[in-house]
Amino acid sequence: MKNNEREIQELADTTRKGNIRIMGILEGEEKEQGLESIFRQIVDKNFPNLRNELELGIQGVNRTPNYLNPRRPLRHIVLKLSKNKDRILRAATEKTVTYKGKPIRLLSDFSSKTLQARKEWNQIVKLLIERNYQPRIMYPAKRSFRYDEEIKTFPDTHIHKCTSIKVNPFLLPQAVTRHS
């Protein structure tokens, strides 16, 4: 059963591989000019050098579904690109991206299970960075870091259960929760 769930999650992430999620565009903006032209404006104004040297290759663009929740923030725009997604996202991390003077975010589009797994790892990665380790992600979904000139790898968030490393106080569950 877990194997099937993992395969479904991998399939969902594979289908979203070329997607970019845009957060922070006001509702109704697309009525004036369309979602595709909004993205073209964002690229033109924020990354003029990229616009001249690459073709965007937009295959589809839409807003995320509308759930009946008045407290929910703005719906995101999901954009499917045929190429150059990585170059656009890399450029977006180097500077603040704006649309009509307001900051917006450009992110990779992942399934909800992948996002949840990333949240679970967040506090562990922060702790490893604080301790000057070099955390990294290995695929399929394993965490590793350099310790005593060796690379230690863990398949899940239960680092303390792995027997391949010496026990350090910061790897115990109490230490992880103290630093959260």
Listed as ranges, residues in the chain with pLDDT below 70 are 12-15, 51-56, 60, 62, 65, 67-73, 137-143, 154-180
Q: What is the CATH number of domain 17-109?
A: 3.30.70.1820
What pLDDT, on a 0 to 100 scale, did the predictor assign at position 160?
47
Give the model's pLDDT for residue 40.
83
Longest alpha-carbon distance in the chain: 60
Which residues of the chain form CATH 3.30.250.20? 113-178
The CATH class, in words, for 113-178 is alpha beta
Q: What is the pLDDT of residues 41-68, one digit of tens each?
A: 888 888 887 766 666 677 767 677 676 5
- Confidence (pLDDT) at 179: 35
pLDDT at 176: 35
- C-alpha 172/C-alpha 180 separation (Å) is 13
pTM: 0.57
Order of all β-strands in the sheet with 97-99: 58-63, 77-81, 19-23, 102-108, 97-99
**Contact assessment for residue 21 and residue 80, using Cβ atoms and an 8 Å cutoff:** no
